[in-house]
Copies of this chain bind each other. A is one copy, B any other.
Amino acid sequence: MADYVYGPGRTHLFVPGPVNIPDPVIRAMNRQNEDYRSPAVPALTKILLEDVKKIFKTTSGTPFIIPTTGTGAWESALTNTLSPGDRIVSFLIGQFSLLWIDQQQRLGFNVDVVESDWGRGADLDVLEAKLRQDTAHTIKAIAIVHNETATGVTNNLATVRKLLDAYRHPALVLVDGVSSICALDFRMDEWGVDVALTGSQKALSMPTGLGIVCASPKALEASKTAKSVRVFFDWKDYLKFYKMGTYWPYTPSIQLLYGLRAALDLLEEEGLDNVIKRHTRLGTATRLAVEAWGLKNCTQKEEWFSNTVTAVVVPSYIDSGEIVKHAWKRYNLSLGLGLNKIAGKVFRIGHLGNLNEPAVSHYAIRCLEVMLKEERQAFAAFRSGFKVLDSRSQKPSERPACFS
**A-side interface residues toward B, CB under 8 Å?**
2-4, 6-11, 13, 15, 17-24, 26-40, 43-44, 46-47, 67-72, 75, 84, 102-103, 106-108, 199, 201, 207-209, 228-234, 249-256, 262, 265-266, 268-270, 274, 278, 281, 284-285, 288-289, 292, 328, 330-334, 336-337, 353-359, 361-363, 366-367, 370, 377-379, 381-382, 385-387, 389-390, 392-398, 400-404
CA–CA, A39 to B387, complex, Å? 15
Task: Say whether B75 contacts A232, CB under 8 Å.
Answer: yes
Nearest 8 A/B pairs, CB to CB: A265-B401, A9-B356, A404-B404, A35-B334, A18-B33, A4-B39, A43-B393, A357-B382
Interchain CA distance A249-B43 in the complex, whole Å: 35
Q: Are B250 and A71 in contact (CB under 8 A)?
A: yes
CA distance A84 to B229 in the complex (A): 10
CA A400 to CA B30, docked complex, whole Å: 18
Q: How far in angstroms is the closest Cβ of chain B from A248?
A: 10
In the assembled complex, the Cα of A389 lies from the Cα of B31 at a distance in Å of 20
Give the residue among A67, A84, A252, A370 with the most B Cβ atoms within 10 A: A67
A35 interface neighbour in B13, B281, B356, B362, Cβ under 8 Å? B13
Find A208's partner among B9, B39, B67, B249 (CB 8 Å cutoff).
Answer: B67
Assembly CA distance A398 to B47 (angstroms): 13
Q: How far is the CB of A370 from chain B (nearest CB, A)?
A: 7
With both beta carbons as reference points, the residue of chain B lying nearest to A339 in the complex is identified as B37
A378–B10 touching, CB < 8 Å? no
Known pairs A330-B358, A382-B285; A404 contacts B401 (CB<8 A)? yes
Could you say which of B11, B269, B381 contacts A401, with CB atoms under 8 Å apart? B269
With A8-B354, A401-B404 given, name 13 new contacts (CB 8 A): A8-B270, A8-B353, A19-B33, A24-B403, A33-B208, A35-B328, A46-B393, A68-B68, A71-B249, A268-B401, A285-B382, A357-B379, A362-B363
Q: Which of A15, A389, A398 has the most chain B CB atoms inside 10 A of its CB?
A: A15
Q: Please report the C-alpha to C-alpha distance between residue A229 and residue B79 in the assembled complex, in whole angstroms.
A: 11
CA–CA, A393 to B72, complex, Å?
Answer: 29
* Residue numbers in B under 8 Å from A6 (CB-CB): 40
Min CB–CB distance A138 → chain B (angstroms):
22
Residue in B209, B357, B359, B393 whose beta carbon sits within 8 Å of that of A47 in the complex: B393
Instruction: With both chains docked as a complex, state the minimum distance between the C-beta of A234 and any C-beta of chain B, in angstroms.
Output: 8
Report the minimal beta-carbon distance from A310 to chain B, rounded to whole angstroms: 14
Q: Check B401 against A385 for contact (C-beta < 8 Å).
A: no
Cβ of A10 and Cβ of B359 under 8 Å apart?
Answer: yes
- In whole angstroms, how far apart are the Cα atoms of A202 and B359 in the complex? 24
CB distance from A24 to the nearest CB of B (A): 5
With contacts A199-B251, A266-B401 taken as known, whether A232 is within 8 angstroms of B68 at the C-beta atoms is yes
Contact A401 B358 (CB under 8 A): no
A370 and B360 alpha carbons, distance in the complex (Å)? 14
Do A387 and B270 have beta carbons less than 8 Å apart? yes
B367 adjacent to A362 (CB under 8 Å):
yes
Which residue, of A24, A207, A230, A334, has the highest number of chain B Cβ atoms within 10 A? A207
